[in-house]
Amino acid sequence: MALRCIGDVVLGNPNNLNLLISRQVGEGPQVESALNAIFRIVLRASLVQEFLAADYVFKCFCEKNPEGQTLLASTVPTTLSLAPVESANLPFGSLLLQALVSFESNGDSETCCRAASVLSLILKDNLHCKEKVLKIEIDALAPSLGPTKEPLLHQIVKYSALISSKISKENQSPSLPKDSAVYLLPLLLRLLVTWLADCPSAVACLLGPPTHLTYFLELVSNENIGVYAQGLTAVVLGECVIYNKTNENGKDQFAIADAISQKVGLTSYFLRFDELAKRFRSLPSASYLHSKPLKRTSTASMIEEPQEEIESEANTLRGESENGNPVILEIFDEEFVSLVRKLETGIREGVMDIFSHTKSKVAVLPAELEQKNGEADGDYVKRLREFVERQCNEMQDLLARNATLAEELVRAGGSATLPDSSNKQSTGRERVQSESLRQDFQEATRRIEALKAQNSKLEADAANFKSLALKLESDLKSLSDAYNSLEQANVQLEAEVKSLRNPDLERIIEEAREEAQKETEGELNDLLVCLGQEQSKVERLSARLAELGEDVDKLLEGIGDDAALQDEDEDDE
């Protein structure tokens, strides 16, 4: 009662909230914050009522208190090792993570699920906290056996798989499961439902490994886990549809909806919501007894109530055990039921909308139908053809979905009026598939005919090219012969030219020789005239010198020799 009183005191009271945050408890080295101490009670309480009372304190603390939620989320480290760590004096966030991974480190599923309950309160209606916790990664104990780090969200999915497997094994025996097995899986699933709500990044992270989708599709059909777990699993799958913003093939909302339709069936899938709503109304609480029933917005709700109530004795006993469990009553409080009701309405409308429209809604003429600048006509026609083929494929998918809905509607609501409908040789889906195959066959036949025509045209072109090649070869041979003839004629002409040039050359040489001789004779005559003039001058000079009494011979002695020596020196140089 004391813990519940603390919760009531801090609910909606900022002053008391601040006091609770700042309060320290304990003595000496054991002093710690009051929130840490209350969280340890959540983890270690031997009585379920004590665990629920401590959990109620966190519920009141986080209710309409985004600052407090952010404060608690800020203490959570981004990474954590699975190796055991001393928990004394750890901050709240580290203590929370240690409790969450206790399932992996020592197999303590109870502690893990109780910590998941507190984490769901921290994440409730707080997108910032969801994004913050989404970045947390857990180190593996044996990195050689797998990835070194794994997101915390993936760890939660793995823990839920281990718990569901344990519950299934226990339910194979006649005895009912233990009380803790009734609420462990719903606690983890409530965390996933709260985390995925209005958080597309969490949905993308959840759908990262392909095995996760397969696991949830199998879990929603597992009767051993109970109505509450099945219903919450259906909500998780629905959130993967309505909050799915990825365009990756095989993981988008269309692929998830198709997987639900193929693996579970829309009738069985929506039946999980109806069963969950019925269980809500049967909970021993006034808030549930007087709550408005969940609205049914799909063809699956046309199933008659007596068909829903056909259960085995073991399932009936399990339902009584679930409804009387105090943890179940605490999980499915009025606020969480309201969230589930809101999500159910959105999921029904979202799934039906997907099955009523093509994957790419074309409301106006797409821009890709316009011819681009500089685009060749052939490329434009090819692009238009690819666009039309995509539209045809999406129309076939839409027809297949509609046929599935019609088929399930007939089996669910019209089996009484059409008793022999199950004996028909073909269903709506088979007819659609047959029509699709027929169209594919016609398309293949048309393409074969086009290929045959193209082949005939290619053969005709090949024959034309062959005849043209023969003609060109003949023309080339004729040109070669003509070239050889021209070459021979050229040789003959060169010989004639050479023979004609020889007499002229001799005549020209002779004329040049005569001309040179004439020029030489003229120059020689000029030299002789000059020499005669010089000789006369010498004679007159000699006579004058003689008159003057000079010995001319003596004067001329050696003059000729000096000139001869100078000429010899010049010749040596």
| 174 lies in some domain | no
Domain end position, chosen among 107, 125, 147: 147
304 and 406 fall within a common domain: yes
How far is residue 571's CA from residue 549's CA, in Å, rounded to a whole number?
38
Closest listed residue to residue 320, CA positions, set 330, 308, 311: 311
Buried b vs exposed e over 489-527: b needs ≥16 C-beta within 10 Å? eeeeeeeeeeeeeeeeeeeeeeeeeeeeeeeeeeeeeee
pLDDT at 563 over 70: no
DSSP 371: P
Q: Which residue range forms the structural domain that includes residue 263?
A: 201-360+391-413
Domain end position, chosen among 112, 147, 182: 147
pLDDT at 192 over 70: yes
119 and 41 fall within a common domain: yes
Q: Residue 16 burial by CB count (10 A; 0-12/13-18/19+): exposed, middle or buried?
A: middle
pLDDT band at 64, cuts 50/70/90? Answer: very high
H or E segment to which residue 228 belongs? helix 227-242
pLDDT at 501 over 70: no
140 and 205 fall within a common domain: no
**What is the arithmetic mean of pLDDT over 176-203?**
87
Beta bridge partners of 79: 137
pLDDT attached to residue 220 = 96
DSSP 177: P
333-361 residue pLDDT tens: 899 999 999 999 999 998 888 877 666 55
pLDDT at 429 over 70: no
3-class DSSP assignment, residue 24: strand
Rounded to an integer, what is the distance from CA 418 to the centroid of its chain? 47
In this structure, of 112-121, 256-265, 503-512, the range with the lowest mean pLDDT score is 503-512
pLDDT attached to residue 421 = 40
Token pair for residue 423? Answer: 């004996």
How far is residue 181's CA from residue 105's CA, in Å, rounded to a whole number?
20
| 262 lies in some domain | yes
**Inter-CA distances, 195 with 189, 273, 431, 478, 502, Å:** 10, 19, 41, 88, 113
How many other β-carbons are positioned within 10 Å of the β-carbon of residue 29? 8
Placement of tokens 């009522």 in the chain: 49
User: Please, what is the angle between helix 109-123 and helix 127-134, to 10°?
Assistant: 140
Report which of residues 35 and 319 the model is more confident about: 35
Q: Residue 562 burial by CB count (10 A; 0-12/13-18/19+): exposed, middle or buried?
A: exposed
Radius of gyration for the chain, computed over Cα atoms and rounded to the nearest angstrom: 54
CB 303 within 8 A of CB 278: no
7 and 43 fall within a common domain: yes
Highest-scoring range by mean pLDDT, 416-430, 459-473, 495-509 = 459-473
520-541 residue pLDDT tens: 888 888 888 898 888 888 888 8
11 and 138 fall within a common domain: yes
pLDDT attached to residue 426 = 46
pLDDT at 406 over 60: no
In this structure, of 58-67, 118-127, 219-228, 449-458, the range with the lowest mean pLDDT score is 449-458
Highest-scoring range by mean pLDDT, 116-125, 172-181, 255-264, 459-468 = 116-125
**Inter-CA distances, 298 with 327, 390, 408, 427, Å:** 31, 29, 12, 21
Q: What backbone torsions phi and psi does residue 32 show, to the nearest 5 degrees? A: -150, 170
Report which of residues 554 and 225 the model is more confident about: 225
CB 239 within 8 A of CB 343: yes
Token pair for residue 547? Answer: 């008159």
Share of the chain above pLDDT 90, in %: 38
Report which of residues 78 and 105 the model is more confident about: 78
Q: End-to-end CA distance of the chain, in Å?
A: 140
pLDDT attached to residue 78 = 87
Q: Could you give the number of structural domains in the chain?
A: 3
248 and 337 fall within a common domain: yes
| 44 lies in some domain | yes
pLDDT attached to residue 43 = 94
259-316 residue pLDDT tens: 998 899 888 999 999 999 999 887 765 343 333 433 333 333 333 333 444 344 344 4
pLDDT at 417 over 70: no
295 and 355 fall within a common domain: yes
**What is the arithmetic mean of pLDDT over 545-571?**
70
Q: What backbone torsions phi and psi does residue 324 show, to the nearest 5 degrees? A: -90, -5
43 and 84 fall within a common domain: yes
**What is the arithmetic mean of pLDDT over 196-208?**
96
pLDDT attached to residue 38 = 95
Token pair for residue 484? Answer: 């050889």
| 278 lies in some domain | yes
The CA-based dihedral angle spanning residues 300, 305, 307, 311, taken in that order and rounded to the nearest 10 degrees: 120
246 and 354 fall within a common domain: yes
| 155 lies in some domain | no
CATH number of the domain to which 101 belongs: 1.25.10.10
pLDDT at 229 over 90: yes
pLDDT attached to residue 322 = 60
Q: Give this prediction's pTM.
A: 0.62
pLDDT attached to residue 437 = 75
386-400 residue pLDDT tens: 878 877 777 777 777
How far is residue 276's CA from residue 269's CA, in Å, rounded to a whole number?
11
| 355 lies in some domain | yes
401 and 467 fall within a common domain: no
**What is the arithmetic mean of pLDDT over 441-457?**
83
Beta bridge partners of 149: 139
130 and 21 fall within a common domain: yes
How far is residue 95's CA from residue 25's CA, in Å, rounded to a whole number?
17
**Inter-CA distances, 393 with 290, 386, 390, 404, Å:** 48, 11, 5, 17
Report which of residues 446 and 159 the model is more confident about: 159
How far is residue 443's CA from residue 319's CA, in Å, rounded to a whole number?
55
Angle, CA 502 vertex, CA 496 and CA 506 arms, to 5°: 165
User: Please, what is the angle between helix 266-281 and helix 253-263, to 10°?
Assistant: 80
408 and 432 fall within a common domain: no
How far is residue 532's CA from residue 528's CA, in Å, rounded to a whole number?
6
| 483 lies in some domain | no
pLDDT at 502 over 70: no
Buried b vs exposed e over 357-394: b needs ≥16 C-beta within 10 Å? ebeeeeeeeeeeeeeeeeeeeeeeeeeeeeeeeeeeeb
How far is residue 441's CA from residue 458's CA, in Å, rounded to a whole number?
25
pLDDT at 243 over 80: yes
**What is the arithmetic mean of pLDDT over 431-441?**
69
Longest dimension (CA), the chain: 182
pLDDT at 235 over 90: yes
Contact partners, residue 150, CB within 8 Å, separation at least 6? 137, 138, 140
- For residue 235, the one-letter residue type is V
How far is residue 276's CA from residue 294's CA, in Å, rounded to a whole number?
9
DSSP 81: E
How far is residue 287's CA from residue 332's CA, in Å, rounded to a whole number?
10
| 541 lies in some domain | no
**What is the arithmetic mean of pLDDT over 181-196?**
93
